[in-house]
Amino acid sequence: MKTAVFLLLYTAIPISGECKDLKKDMIALELFLQDQEDHAKYCPKLAWEQPDIEVYKKELISQLPEGCVK
């Protein structure tokens, strides 16, 4: 019975593009903030200007400079 209710609710609630966009934005923000911490911790002597958050949203990967190793 529980499975049937779950399946009914799961299929009745559409997953919108907004949810996917929100998830992507959250991942980008997490990477952005993590890069700030990692740069200060692992390679503060390397010159680096952090890219805009939009770059993180597009790439979804760390933007630390080459040579900055965790």
pLDDT of amino acid 19? 86
Indicate the pTM of the whole model.
0.73
CB contact burial 36-69 (16+ within 10 A = b; e otherwise): eebbeeebeeeeeeeeeeeebbeeeeebbeeebe
Among residues 61, 68, 62, the alpha carbon closest in space to that of 41 is found at: 68
- Alpha carbons 31 and 25: distance in angstroms, whole number: 10
* 2 within some domain: no
Radius of gyration of the chain (CA): 19
* 7 within some domain: no
pLDDT of amino acid 18? 75
Domain that holds residue 62: 16-70
Report the number of distinct structural domains present in the chain.
1
Mean pLDDT across 52-68 = 96
* pLDDT tens profile 8-52: 445 555 556 778 899 999 999 999 999 999 999 999 999 999 999
